[in-house]
C-alpha cells in the first residue's frame, strides 16, 4: 500500500484479507471455473436491472398515488444518489485489487479504481429494497432485501468491494430509505 490515501482507505480491512478472499473465491478460480465466474457476473448485472426496474415501479406507483408524494420520492432519492456519489468521490478509498495483490474475478476498465467505500450498488439496492419493505409491510417485502444482500455478496466475491464497503452501503441505504419516505410524505 502506497501513500496516505491507500492507508486511509484500509480502515476496517484485516491484514490477511487477500488470503480470506482467496478462500471465499476458491470455487470461482481454477479449472473449469469460467462458467461460474460468468454466472456470478450475469447474476450481478441481472440484480442491478431488477433494482432499476423496482425503482421505476415504485416511482410510477407513488406518482399515481399522489403526484406530490411521487415528486417528493423522486427528489429525495435523487438527492441521496448524488450525495452518495459525492461521498465516494471525496473518500476515494481503494478497491481490493488496488490495495492488495488480488486479481478480481471480473475485468475492470483501465484507469478505473478508487471510490470503493461505501458500495454504491449496496446503497442503491438497500435503499430501494427498504422502501419496498416499508410499502409492502409483508413477507414479500423481505425478498428485495434478500436480493440486495446477494448483490452485495456478489460485489465482494468479484473482488471489487471489501465487505465493509457493502456493509456501509447497506446501512446508509436503509437509513436513506427511511429519510426519503419521511421527506416524501411531507
Taking only the tens place, the pLDDT of each residue in 15-54 is 899 999 999 999 988 777 788 899 999 999 999 999 999 9
The C-alpha cell at 5 is 490515501
Residue 1 has pLDDT above 60, yes or no: no
- DSSP H stretches of helix in the chain: 3-8, 17-24, 34-65, 67-91, 96-99, 120-136, 142-158, 163-185
Q: Could you read off the pLDDT of 88-144 as tens digits, one per residue?
A: 999 989 999 888 988 888 877 656 678 889 999 999 999 999 999 998 888 888 999
For residue 99, which phi and psi values (nearest 5 degrees)? -85, -30
Q: How many residues are there in the chain?
A: 186
- pTM of the entire predicted model: 0.89
Task: Please name the residue that has the C-alpha cell 434478500.
Answer: 146
Cell of 66: 399522489
Amino acid at each position: 500500500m502506497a501513500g496516505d490515501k491507500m492507508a486511509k482507505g484500509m480502515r476496517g480491512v484485516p491484514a490477511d484479507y487477500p488470503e480470506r478472499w482467496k478462500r471465499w473465491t476458491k470455487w470461482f478460480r481454477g479449472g473449469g471455473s469460467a462458467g461460474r465466474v460468468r454466472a456470478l457476473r450475469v447474476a450481478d448485472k441481472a440484480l442491478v436491472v431488477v433494482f432499476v426496474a423496482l425503482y421505476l415501479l415504485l416511482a410510477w406507483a407513488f406518482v399515481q398515488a399522489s403526484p406530490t408524494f411521487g415528486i417528493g420520492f423522486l427528489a429525495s432519492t435523487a438527492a441521496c444518489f448524488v450525495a452518495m456519489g459525492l461521498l465516494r468521490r471525496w473518500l476515494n478509498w481503494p478497491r481490493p485489487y488496488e490495495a492488495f495483490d488480488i486479481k478480481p474475478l471480473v475485468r475492470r476498465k483501465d484507469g478505473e479504481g478508487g471510490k470503493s467505500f461505501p458500495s454504491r450498488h449496496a446503497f442503491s439496492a438497500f435503499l430501494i429494497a427498504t422502501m419496498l419493505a416499508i410499502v409492502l409491510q409483508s413477507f414479500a417485502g423481505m425478498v428485495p432485501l434478500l436480493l440486495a444482500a446477494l448483490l452485495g455478496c456478489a460485489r465482494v466475491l468479484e473482488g471489487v468491494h471489501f465487505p465493509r464497503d457493502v456493509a456501509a452501503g447497506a446501512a446508509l441505504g436503509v437509513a436513506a430509505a427511511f429519510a426519503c419516505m419521511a421527506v416524501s410524505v411531507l
